[in-house]
Amino acid sequence: MYKFFIFLFFALPLSAYAGATDKLKNFIASTHSAQANFTQEVRDKSGKRIQSASGTMQFVRPGKFRWVYQKPFEQLIVGDGEKFWLHDVELNQVTVKKIDAALGSSPAALLSGNNEIERGFKLKDNGTKDSLEWLQATPRAKDTSFEKILMGFNAQSELMVMELQDAFGHTTVLRFSKLQRNPQLSPQLFKFVPPKGADVLGE
């Protein structure tokens, strides 16, 4: 399985003015929660699809999130504000880490953490392509999983696509649909108790 959890929490509509960088910053300041459907593809150096998945996501800033991978493998990923939980349903295996250790300087820090985006990432507008306005985010730290992240916004200033490029030449493409901004979400969505009999790895 590819490292799904590293780049989660991105399906988010943004404000309707200024460039892509300003839209991202405004989103961080104005959006408390979001939910969406997503599809995910991993492509190799030649652009060939080597993996695909789909599911739903929800989050409440800061640090609370729930991603459900429904196809092809059922996985549940929950952040409760203090710990990160990854449940592989087929294996009945749970991985748990502290939130800070799980996110670190990953792309998740762009949207699920505090407002100091530019402390961890260099941001710049990256032009228009395929009717989307693009932002490029480059991690300042050298020990991150991705070399750069591209984020594409539509005319309504919603984040529609993310492309995450790693050091091995792989590109992970996330596409979002049915976006909702600031929905009321139950706190129970962001609590996790390991199922009976599950192997629990980590802290």
Q: Check residue 111 and give left, alpha or beta (phi > 0: left; psi -120 to 50: alpha).
A: alpha
pLDDT value at position 14? Answer: 38
Burial class (CB in 10 A: 0-12, 13-18, 19+), 167: exposed
φ, ψ of residue 64 to 5 degrees: the values are -115, 130
Residue type, 120: G
Rounded to whole angstroms, how far apart are CA atoms 181 and 64? 15
Rounded to whole angstroms, how far apart are CA atoms 20 and 159? 10
pLDDT value at position 145? Answer: 74
Enumerate long-range contacts of 66-70, CB under 8 Å, 24 or more apart. 66/189, 66/190, 67/4, 67/5, 67/8, 67/9, 69/4
Q: Are 112 and 103 in contact (CB under 8 A)?
A: yes
| 3-state secondary structure at position 69 | strand
Structure-derived torsion over alpha carbons of residues 188, 38, 167, 76, reported in degrees to the nearest 10:
30
Closest CA to 172 of 46, 4, 27: 4
Mean pLDDT per 10-residue segment, the chain (203 residues) = 45 48 75 89 92 90 86 88 90 88 57 64 88 88 80 80 88 90 94 93 83
The beta-strand segments (E) located in 13-140 are 33-43, 49-60, 64-71, 75-80, 83-88, 93-98, 121-129, 132-139
Tokens representing 8 are 């989660």
Q: How far is CA 171 from the centre of its chain?
A: 14
Rounded to whole angstroms, how far apart are CA atoms 47 and 52? 13
